[in-house]
Amino acid sequence: MWVRDTFGHRWASESEIAFAHQPVGCHVALRESSVLGFACWDATARGFFGPIGTLE
């Protein structure tokens, strides 16, 4: 998983929770087929924004 490889297991765990919600609580930034970043909300607590990460 890109988040785990780039930012570590803690952020990966939170982003997996965000993707499990309905609706999904995460945006992923892409350029062509490359992931550039992500931003999640309501992952571990309602009203909480994060984690968030970009390559640069």
pTM of the model: 0.85
Region for 32 from its dihedrals, namely left if φ exceeds 0, alpha if ψ lies in -120 to 50, beta otherwise: left
What are the φ and ψ backbone dihedral angles of 53, each rounded to 5 degrees?
-160, 145
Domain chopping of the chain, boundaries? 2-54
The whole-number pLDDT of residue 56 equals 86
Higher pLDDT residue, 1 or 26? 26
The predicted-structure confidence for 20-48, as pLDDT tens digits, reads as follows 999 999 999 999 999 999 999 999 899 99
For residues 17 and 40, give the distance between their C-alpha atoms in angstroms, rounded to a whole number: 9
- DSSP one-letter code for 32: T
Q: Are 35 and 2 in contact (CB under 8 A)?
A: yes
Confidence of residue 55 (pLDDT cuts 50, 70, 90): very high
For residues 12 and 46, give the distance between their C-alpha atoms in angstroms, rounded to a whole number: 18
Question: Does residue 11 surpass a pLDDT of 90?
Answer: yes
